[in-house]
Amino acid sequence: MDGKLVAELLKSDADVAETQTEIETAHRMGVTGVPCFTIDGKYVLMGAETPENIASAICKAAAEAEEETSARRPVTHAT
């Protein structure tokens, strides 16, 4: 981080609205602590998680995204 930039931002109201929006979004998602990982906007892992749990959530989200993408592809018939 740029120390001078951080010091200037802390003295001002810059990014206050954006930060407040992020806090409100986190509260709506049920975030109550840190660390918190959100995956594809669907899964939330709070607190210390094992690498295996994080990998599992990522794989699940990726599989669901692939299923959604496949469902939207048009079906073509061979002639």
| Gap between the Cα atoms of 48 and 35, Å rounded | 7
For residue 13, which amino acid is it?
Answer: D
Please answer whether residues 61 and 40 qualify as being in contact, where contact means their C-beta atoms are separated by less than 8 angstroms. Answer: yes
Is 50 within the bounds of a domain?
yes
Section 63-77 average pLDDT: 80
Residues 37 and 23 in one domain: no
| Count of structural domains within the chain | 2
Q: Model confidence over 42-62: pLDDT tens digits?
A: 888 888 899 999 999 999 999
Checking if the pLDDT of 63 tops 70, the result is yes
Range of 40's domain?
33-74
Residues 16 and 40 in one domain: no
* Global model pTM greater than 0.85: no
| Gap between the Cα atoms of 36 and 38, Å rounded | 7
Residues 20 and 38 in one domain: no
Please answer whether residues 43 and 59 qualify as being in contact, where contact means their C-beta atoms are separated by less than 8 angstroms. Answer: no
